[in-house]
Amino acid sequence: MLAQDIAVRDGDAITIESSDVSLDLGGHIVSSSAKSGAMIRIAEGSTRVSIRNGRLEGGGSGIAHAAGSVRIRLSVEAVDVVRAKETAIDIGAAEHVDVVDCHIRSAGAAGIRVSGESEAFGGRFVGNTVEGVFRDGVDLVGLASGEVRNNVVADFGKSGKSDRGILLSRSAHGSTGGNVVEGNVVHVSGMGGDDGIALESGSNTVASNAVSGMNYDGIVVRSSGNRISENTVTGNGRHGIHVIGEQNRIEKNRIEANGGSGIYFEGDGANSYASNRFSGNSQSSVGGKTGLSIGTNNDVR
C-alpha cells in the first residue's frame, strides 16, 4: 500500500516492471506538474496487475501500457484521474482489462482507451464517470464478450474529429463483438460530442441507455447482428439511431426531438424495427433506404 502522496516534476511517477503486482494507492494522490510521462506506467512484459483506491493528477496519462509482445491482464478500481494532458487510461496489447468505479476528468485526449491491437480482448467497464475529455469518452478496440455498463460519459469531444462517447470497434484479427452495452448515460450540454454510442463490431446488445445532446447521431450502427432496445435517444443534432449495417433489431426505443430522422437507414441491408416510440423528430420518424427493412407496431406521435 502506498504510504504517502507522491509529486514529481517530470517523467513517470510510478513504474511497474513485473507481473503479479497489486498496487493499493491507499487513498493517496500521485501528481505531476509535467505535460508528459505517466502517473503509473506498466512496463512491457508485465501482466496480472491490479491498481486501486487513489487519485492521479496531471502528467501525460494516468495509467499507461504500450503495445508489446506480452498481452496484459489488468484491473483498475476506484481510481480518479484528473487533468491528464493525453489519454487518462491508455492500455495497449490488452488480453483482459477491467475498469470499475473510476472517475476521469479533463483529459487532453480520450478518457479510457483500451486496445487488443490485432487481437480481441475481454473486459468489464462498469460504473465509471468520464467527463470533460477532449476526444472519445470510452474507446474499446477489439472488445469481445465484454460488459460496458452503468457508466456516465458527459461533455466529451471538443476536437471536431468524429468524437464518440462510447466506441466499440473491431480488431484486425480475432472474434470481436458480442458485448453488452447497458445502462449508460451519454450526454453533452453545449458544444462537443459527435456521436453518443458507436458500434463498429457486431452482435452487440445495446439496451437501456440514455443518449442526448450529440452534434450528430445518438446511436450509430456500422455493423450487423446487433440488438438495440429500450434506449432513450433524445435531442441529438442529426438522427436518433443511424443504421449502416444489416440484420440489426431495433425495438422498444424512445426516440424523440432529434434534428434528423428518428431512425435513419443508410445502405441496402435488411433490418427490423418494432415497438419504437417516435415523437418530434424534425425530418421523419423513419428515413433513408427503408425498402428492405421491416417495421411493426411502432408508435408515431
Domain range summary for the chain, segments of one domain joined by + = 6-215
64 burial type by CB count under 10 A (0-12 exposed, 13-18 middle, 19+ buried): buried
How far apart CA 175 and CA 203 sit, in angstroms, is: 11
Angle at 155 between CA 100 and CA 37, to 5 degrees: 60
pLDDT value of residue 69: 85
- Name every residue whose Cβ is closer than 8 Å to that of residue 75 and which is 6 or more positions away in sequence: 49, 50, 51, 52, 97, 98, 100
- The per-residue pLDDT for 49 is 98
The CATH classification number of 6-215 equals 2.160.20
SS3 content of the chain, % helix, strand, coil (to 5): 0, 50, 50
pLDDT for res 8: 97
Number of residues assigned to the chain? 301
Divide the 301 residues of the chain into consecutive groups of 10 and give the mean pLDDT of each group: 95 97 98 96 97 98 94 98 98 98 98 94 98 97 97 93 93 82 95 92 97 97 97 98 96 98 92 97 94 89 83
For the question of whether the overall pTM of this predicted structure is more than 0.85, the answer is yes
Candidates 227, 228, 263; CA nearest to 242 is 263
Q: For residue 246, give the C-alpha cell.
A: 444489416
- What's the rounded Cα separation, in Å, for the pair 48 and 50? 7
Distances from the Cα of 15 to the Cα of 33, 35, 53, 130, angstroms: 17, 17, 17, 24
The pLDDT assigned to 172 comes to: 66
Closest CA relative to residue 119, chosen from 138, 101, 96, 148: 96
Give residue 118's pLDDT.
84
Half-sphere exposure at residue 153, Cβ-oriented, CA atoms within 13 angstroms: 41
- What's residue 191's pLDDT? 79
- pLDDT given for residue 128 in this prediction: 98
